[in-house]
Structures are given as C-alpha cells and as structure tokens.
Structure 1
Amino acid sequence: MSLMQSTEFWPFVLYAGIVLALVAGILGLSYILGQRHGEKATGEPFESGIVPVDFARLRFSAKFYLVAVLFVIFDMEAVFIFAWAVAFRETGWIGYGGALTFIAILVVALIYEWRVGALDWQPQERKRQTSRQL
C-alpha cells in the first residue's frame, strides 16, 4: 500500500473509531445511570411492566406474511418503473415495450392472486356463509 492510499484511508479509520467510541460511551452511560428494578413483569415479553392476564404468545395468521411478500414484489415494481422513467428517452420504444410487458406480467400476477383468494381477509367460515347466501 502506497503512502497516498494510506493517507486517504485514515479519515475512514478515524470516523469508525469515533463512532465506536460514541456507541460505547452511550451504552456505558445508560448502564451506569439507568434505573435498576427487579420486578418480575419487566422481564415479560411485552416489557411494559404490566402483569399479563393471558398467554403472551399470540398466533398470527399466515396471511400477514403473504401480504408482506406481495408488498415486496409490488414495491420492486415501483423501483423498476422509477428507474425506467429516468432512462425513458434513452430506451426508446424498445424500453417502452419492455416496461409494458413487465407491468402486464405483474397485473396478471395480481389478478391471479386475487382469483386464488390470497387477498381475501375473511375467515373460512364467513366465506362459506357469504357464498351460500349468493
């Protein structure tokens, strides 16, 4: 490593050292100055200090995870569309066709998810009752 490269590297090392010292200082201060109490309820999963009335482990529906995955997929669509909008003039009609194809595939995927019932939030019993009423 030459002298020029090492002089360019030192500001980063200094910055990293300051950050680590600041983090260690703040953590040390909070440990020294922080309150200590041995109440049983503060060790509970919700950490609010209130004694729980029921079992703390709640079950979540898997549909929340599906919605999260769908959000990530359609959020990535927005990223690609923004990138395409920036380079719109350079890509020409070929880029326009590619963007339309990409959007069409995602719309077809959204329609498929809708038809399969992945976006329905009603419990299964309520779905059966509404389908019988129709």
Structure 2
Amino acid sequence: MGELGLASKYLPILILAILVFVIGLSMIIVNQILGLKRPYPEKLERYECGLPPSGEPRHPFSVKFYAIAILFVVFDVEAVFLYPWAVSFGKIGALAYIEMVIFIALLLVAYFYAWIRGAFRWE
C-alpha cells in the first residue's frame, strides 16, 4: 500500500479532527464575545457542595490520602487481572494457575506490608 493509499485511508479522520477543533474553538470564542458577564460576590465565591465556604481553599492534603489512593488503585488493578484469568480458567492450564498463585501471593505480601507499616490507618 503506497503513500496515497495510506493518506486516503486516514483523510476522513483528519477532516473530522480539524472540524471538531474548529467547532470547539469557535464555541469558546463566541461565548467570550456574546456571553453574559455579570460578576457579583456570591458568584465569585468558591463552591463547596452547597455549603458555606469554610477555611482556606489551598490547605495541603495529608500524604496519607495519596498513599491510600495509590494502594486502592494497585489492589483494584488486581481485579482487572483476575477476571480474565477466572473466565478462561479451564483453557489455560497448570502453568497459568501457578503464575496466578504467585501473583496473588505477591499482592498479599504487599498488602500485609502496607498494613504493618500503617498505610491503612487514617489519622
């Protein structure tokens, strides 16, 4: 397949991407020109789920929050790997079973290590 064939194959996608970009940019420009601008104190105030704002908006989060979020993602990804393995369990054989046992053992070691280090305690 030559250069012309490849270019003609992706030309509709390129045209669509350009069209989407132009439409999106034109909407932003039209909004800036025609949009209503009536600022008032309540509108410029930060929003906190319908409650009156309290405290500084730029207070730092605890590192524990990020550690628990990362641990959640790691152990959630485990389920992503377990599901296809469980669905094709009958076809994959003993080697795949042993590999999954090793994978789960490593995850359990990591889980208990995080537990012992106090990563799951919210203080």
Q: TM-score, normalised by structure 1?
A: 0.71
1:24 Cα deviation from its structure 2 partner = 1.2
Decide whether the 8 Å contact of 2:114 with 2:120 is kept in 1. Answer: yes
1:87 Cα deviation from its structure 2 partner = 4.4
1:76 Cα deviation from its structure 2 partner = 2.0
User: Unaligned stretches of 5+ in structure 2?
Assistant: none
For 2:10, give the aligned amino acid.
F
1:97 Cα deviation from its structure 2 partner = 0.9
Provide the C-alpha distance between the structure 2 equivalents of 1:2 and 1:112, rounded to a whole number of angstroms: 55
Q: Which residue in 1 is equivalent to 2:72?
A: 71
Decide whether the 8 Å contact of 2:64 with 2:119 is kept in 1. Answer: yes
For 1:33, give the aligned amino acid.
L
Provide the C-alpha distance between the structure 1 equivalents of 2:17 and 2:115, rounded to a whole number of angstroms: 49
**1:32-66 CA-partner distances (Å, limit 9, x unpaired):** 3322134466556x367xx9664322232111000
Percent identity reads 35
Decide whether the 8 Å contact of 1:63 with 1:118 is kept in 2. Answer: yes
CA 1:77–1:53 in 2, change beyond 3 Å: closer, same or farther?
closer
Decide whether the 8 Å contact of 1:41 with 1:47 is kept in 2. Answer: no
1:16 Cα deviation from its structure 2 partner = 0.7
**1:53-110 CA-partner distances (Å, limit 9, x unpaired):** 6432223211100011101211221222234235434431110111111011111211
With CA pairs under 8 Å and 6+ residues apart, which has the higher RCO, 1 or 2?
2
Q: TM-score, normalised by structure 2?
A: 0.77
Q: How does 1:25-104 map to 2 (within 5 A)?
A: 25-39=26-40, 46=46, 54-104=55-105
Q: Which residue in 2 is equivalent to 1:131?
A: none
> Please, what is the CA RMSD of the aligned residues?
2.6
User: Unaligned stretches of 5+ in structure 1?
Assistant: 124-134
* Runs ≥4 residues deviating over 6 A: none
Decide whether the 8 Å contact of 2:67 with 2:119 is kept in 1. Answer: yes
Q: Which residue in 2 is equivalent to 1:8?
A: 9
Do residues 23 (structure 1) and 13 (structure 2) align?
no
Do residues 120 (structure 1) and 121 (structure 2) align?
yes
